[in-house]
Amino acid sequence: MKPLTLAAMLGLAALLAACGQKAETDDAAANTTAEATGKMDAMASNMSGDMGNMEMPMAGSAKMAKGAGTVTAVDKSAGTITLDHGPIAEADWPAMTMAFKAKPELLDSVKVGDKVAFDLALNGNAGEVTAIQKQ
């Protein structure tokens, strides 16, 4: 055979072999996709129950704490309340005076000098008053 004819025949054989492999790859991908879809459908149909009863974690994984103290300042424009509080064990905080974020309705319920018990949502070194009651 002439070298040019031999090269053309080998090239044609290689192209045909590659085309066959591509078709097999496409079939395998289609089968894999169909299997994955079937598994997802099966998982969805096996899920039952009332997920509304599940307890959801708070955003930022906030930890809850309780404290008691005296209101020393209320800043409605900044949305903060300053409390001279006793130790807060859940936060490993000693007694101190510090400002906390609080919703406006909580700020409206107390005034400077009130003795209070309060609930905190802790996030790192910060806390937000989530409930407050006069003592």
**Residues of the chain under the 50 pLDDT cut:** 23-24, 44, 46-58
Whole-number percent of the chain with pLDDT over 90: 49
- Model-wide pTM > 0.75: no
Q: What is d(CA 135, CA 122) in angstroms, rounded to the nearest whole number?
A: 22
pLDDT score for 51: 42
DSSP code at position 89? G
pLDDT digits (tens, 9 = 90+) for 92-119: 999 999 999 999 999 999 999 999 999 9
Q: Are strands 126-134 and 96-102 parallel, antiparallel or unpaired?
A: parallel
Which residue's entry shows tokens 């974690």?
57
Q: If we measure between CA atoms, which residue out of 97, 90, 95, 83 comes closest to residue 133?
A: 83
Q: If we measure between CA atoms, which residue out of 71, 132, 126 comes closest to residue 106?
A: 132
